[in-house]
Chains A and B, each alone.
Chain A
Amino acid sequence: MSTDLPEWLLARQEPFQHGDGIAGGKSIRRGFVEKSVDSMSLVFRESFFAERLASRPGLLQGIDPRVKVLTTILLIIVAGLARHPTTLLALNLWILWVAKVSRVPLPMYLKRVWLAAPLFTGIIVFPSIFNVVYPGDPLLILINFSRHFRLGPWTVPETLAVTYQGVWGALVLILRVGASVSLAVLLALTTRWQVLLKALNMVFVPQVFIVMLEMSCRYIYLFLQTTSEMFVARRSRTVSRTSTQEQRCFVSGSIGALWNKAYILSGEIHAAMVSRGYTGTPKTLVSFQISRLDWLWSLFVLAVSLFFLGGDRIVAW
């Protein structure tokens, strides 16, 4: 790409990276303002990304959103009921295949699903593979103390070992969390969010809740922008280090200020709705059409669920 723009304008720059925490010669550490602004901008990035992906042609994008919501819930239940790592591994592979034929960019998808959720689960579940925490048959003996001894209320067993049951349970949990998270992420990535919320009507969510969901989604963006601006304004006026207490006061002040604004805004929205004829029962335009392909897909997912659950029951016993 050749442009006449100067080099420094094209260079990618993270906001606030320079100068932060340099005072006192210490290493750079991101403060609470930067972290908050970052996580807020991530919401915008994700929603733009999902919107773009949802309008691409692909397998899941073409399925009726109501069918997609129901089949996703069914598959998450299947993942919840499966008890064998092999079943869960196969299920995960199939979900990956569905993502691939739905043209979801795999590196980003894998990073989002298989880096965050299972890593976190792995850390939580790690202690349970040892016999000190979760009793079971030893698989790998690490230390042999050669006798029992007591440590306060705990009795430490003769050996410290990795147990068969512990590893098995950890594997099942990680694979199951991975499958559930990937199904939820796929649903959100391949459906336009406004449409997804409307589709909830199908799973017996009352209309008024759906209207509130849609409204709150819209105002989340507004509030995120408002708070980002508050934070950036504050950050740009801060020249020295601030105490933790001062920072907490600023954060709570922002929360209070945001609530003031939000409350006034809700009054204004209400007035605007009433003046347009709102009487308390919301009306929405919903026009979904279930095609033959959607029916076939539902039947197929049902068959897949039976296949996985049946297979699971056979290998698990």
Chain B
Amino acid sequence: MHIPDGYLSPQTCAVMGAVMLPVWAAAAKKVNNVQKTKYAPLMAIGAAFTFVIMMFNIPVPDGTTAHAVGGGLLAIVLGPWAACISITIALAVQALLFGDGGILAFGANTFNMALLLPFSAYYTYRLIAGNSEAASSRRWLGGLAGGYIGVNLAALAAAVEFGLQPVLFHAADGAALYCPYPLSMAVPAMALAHLSIAGPVEGVITALAIRYLQERNAGILSVEASSSPLEGHSYKKLMRGLGMLILLSPLGLLAKGTAWGEWAAGEIEAKMGFIPGGMSSLAERWQAPLPDYGLPGFEHNLLQSSTVYIVSAIIGLGIIFAITYIFSLVQKKTTPDKT
């Protein structure tokens, strides 16, 4: 479910990142208020735990293995806000140090796996477990449902992010620029894999881990309940703000047109009713030495002008490669050779 860079457009990534910023800020504040100085070590350990859980190979009935996320379990034992921070850190380590999951797609990945997954898993668990005893079977049943629903919601979100790409971004001739599958294909494909394998794996693993904890160390299951960071006034405000953002985000996705500030003189005229004087005089004065990468007197026919493009591109590339090499030579001089 880790979306690598390249599948989502930078615009989508920016929107997802913008949605996650207030979530992180709120989560940091909530958990800090409850855990005080315990906050940093607990979250860091939670992140390390999640990272290691993601490496586990879980045996599935057909004899092969699958991976679990472990986010549902973390949300159940630590609460959803704390789980959000821990999973975010684990995903950051994976993206930065192991190249697993994109750097630009970090906002989208955390939206799916650090926000939707723990929150939906936690509330499903709460709904089923209620105020039952720590040893009650409602606890692990809640874990089973929570893990299953959490992973499927996260996968659905990923599928929607994929599926929006061909609708919003494609070349003039219809070729896809990012993920090529529309919603009608992305959603069923992801749903099939997650409803049938990844979801059950996550649910069963969460349930079995809760049963293990019930038998060996039931106290750990009530850690979250005794220090629930969910009460408080700012909670409602945050939810309202989040709701607004979620409602507004499709606008950002759907917005089309020229990039802000990159208008040509004609577009400026259409927008403002006139061309600013300085701009028109600059536009006239500024004649690039190679206008549109073409040589003067060379743009007579398509073949000639495309040859000029190719030659300019190759020269440009050559210069870039050479400068890169010069940098490495300078670098070698300034740093003493240790090998």
Q: Which residues of A contact B (CB under 8 A)?
A: 29, 31-32, 35-36, 39-40, 43, 46-47, 50, 55-59, 61-63, 72-73, 76-77, 79-81, 83, 90, 93-94, 97-98, 101-102, 117, 121, 125, 128, 133-137, 164-166, 168-170, 172-173, 176-181, 184-185, 187-188, 193, 196-197, 200, 206, 208-209, 211-213, 215-220, 222-224, 227, 244, 247-249, 251-260, 262-263, 265-267, 269-270, 273-274, 278-280, 282, 291, 293, 296-297, 300, 304, 307, 311, 314-317
Docked-complex contact A176 and B6, CB < 8 angstroms = yes
The residue in chain A whose Cβ has the minimal distance to the Cβ of B223 is: A263
Docked-complex contact A184 and B41, CB < 8 angstroms = no
Given contacts A134-B180, A300-B323, 9 further A-B contacts (CB under 8 A): A76-B104, A173-B7, A173-B178, A177-B5, A181-B4, A184-B95, A208-B40, A269-B45, A300-B324
Chain A residues near B338: list those with CB within 8 A. Answer: 55-57
| Minimal beta-carbon separation of A154 from chain B (angstroms) | 11
In the complex, A176→B179 CA distance in Å?
Answer: 11
Docked-complex contact B40 and A256, CB < 8 angstroms = no
Docked-complex contact B93 and A266, CB < 8 angstroms = no
| Minimal beta-carbon separation of B9 from chain A (angstroms) | 7
Tell yes or no: B61 within 8 A of A by CB: yes
In the complex, A59→B326 CA distance in Å?
Answer: 9
Docked-complex contact A260 and B103, CB < 8 angstroms = no
Docked-complex contact A173 and B6, CB < 8 angstroms = yes
In the complex, A90→B310 CA distance in Å?
Answer: 12
| Minimal beta-carbon separation of B177 from chain A (angstroms) | 6
Tell yes or no: B118 within 8 A of A by CB: no
In the complex, A267→B35 CA distance in Å?
Answer: 11
Docked-complex contact A57 and B48, CB < 8 angstroms = no
For the complex of A and B, list the 10 residue pairs with the smallest distance between their C-beta atoms, beginning with the closest. A252-B208, A256-B212, A180-B5, A215-B44, A169-B176, A177-B6, A101-B328, A59-B328, A216-B47, A165-B175
Chain B residues near A73: list those with CB within 8 A. Answer: 103-104
Contact with A along B85-127 (1 / 0, CB 8 A): 1000110110111110011100000000000000000000000
Interface residues of B in 70-88 (CB under 8 A from A): 70, 73, 77, 85
Most buried by A among B178, B328, B337: B328
In the complex, A83→B173 CA distance in Å?
Answer: 12
The residue in chain A whose Cβ has the minimal distance to the Cβ of B185 is: A133
| Minimal beta-carbon separation of A203 from chain B (angstroms) | 10
Chain B residues near A223: list those with CB within 8 A. Answer: 48-49, 51-52
Docked-complex contact B10 and A80, CB < 8 angstroms = yes
**Given A184-B102, A263-B223, A293-B330, does the pair A280, B48 have CB atoms closer than 8 Å?**
no
In the complex, A254→B45 CA distance in Å?
Answer: 16
The residue in chain B whose Cβ has the minimal distance to the Cβ of A169 is: B176
In the complex, A173→B38 CA distance in Å?
Answer: 44
**Of B213-221, B245-253, B271-279, the one touching chain A:** B213-221
The residue in chain A whose Cβ has the minimal distance to the Cβ of B88 is: A209
Tell yes or no: B298 within 8 A of A by CB: no
Docked-complex contact A128 and B180, CB < 8 angstroms = yes
**Of B150-158, B233-241, B312-320, the one touching chain A:** B312-320
Docked-complex contact A136 and B59, CB < 8 angstroms = no
Q: Which residues of B contact A (CB under 8 A)?
A: 4-7, 9-10, 13, 28, 32, 36-49, 51-53, 55-61, 63, 65, 70, 73, 77, 85, 89-90, 92-93, 95-99, 102-104, 171-181, 185, 204-205, 207-213, 216-217, 220, 223, 292-293, 309, 313, 316-317, 320-321, 323-325, 327-328, 330-332, 334-339
Docked-complex contact A77 and B104, CB < 8 angstroms = yes
Q: Which of B5, B7, B217, B317 contacts A76 (CB 8 A)?
A: B5
| Minimal beta-carbon separation of B39 from chain A (angstroms) | 7
**Given A79-B5, A101-B324, A300-B323, does the pair A265, B45 have CB atoms closer than 8 Å?**
yes
Q: Which of B37, B99, B209, B220 contacts A181 (CB 8 A)?
A: B99
Docked-complex contact A196 and B28, CB < 8 angstroms = no
**Given A212-B44, A252-B205, A253-B212, does the pair A188, B98 have CB atoms closer than 8 Å?**
yes
In the complex, A101→B325 CA distance in Å?
Answer: 7
Docked-complex contact B213 and A256, CB < 8 angstroms = yes
| Minimal beta-carbon separation of B332 from chain A (angstroms) | 6
In the complex, A316→B61 CA distance in Å?
Answer: 49
Chain B residues near A46: list those with CB within 8 A. Answer: 98
Chain A residues near B63: list those with CB within 8 A. Answer: 29, 244
In the complex, A262→B292 CA distance in Å?
Answer: 61
**27 pairs across A/B with beta carbons < 8 Å?**
A32-B59, A57-B339, A58-B331, A61-B331, A80-B13, A101-B327, A135-B174, A136-B175, A168-B171, A169-B175, A173-B180, A180-B5, A180-B6, A180-B103, A181-B99, A188-B97, A196-B96, A212-B44, A216-B51, A256-B212, A262-B48, A266-B46, A270-B37, A282-B40, A311-B316, A314-B292, A316-B171
In the complex, A61→B102 CA distance in Å?
Answer: 22
Docked-complex contact A62 and B37, CB < 8 angstroms = no
Docked-complex contact B43 and A252, CB < 8 angstroms = no
| Minimal beta-carbon separation of A55 from chain B (angstroms) | 6
**Given A101-B324, A173-B180, does the pair A244, B61 have CB atoms closer than 8 Å?**
yes
Docked-complex contact A94 and B45, CB < 8 angstroms = no
Docked-complex contact A255 and B209, CB < 8 angstroms = yes
Docked-complex contact A136 and B57, CB < 8 angstroms = no
Q: Which of A40, A76, A94, A263 contacts B55 (CB 8 A)?
A: A40
Q: Which of A179, A280, A304 contacts B37 (CB 8 A)?
A: A280
Docked-complex contact B216 and A80, CB < 8 angstroms = no
In the complex, A314→B294 CA distance in Å?
Answer: 11
In the complex, A114→B308 CA distance in Å?
Answer: 32
**Given A165-B173, A257-B212, does the pair A212, B89 have CB atoms closer than 8 Å?**
yes
| Minimal beta-carbon separation of A247 from chain B (angstroms) | 4
Chain B residues near A291: list those with CB within 8 A. Answer: 334
The residue in chain A whose Cβ has the minimal distance to the Cβ of B327 is: A59
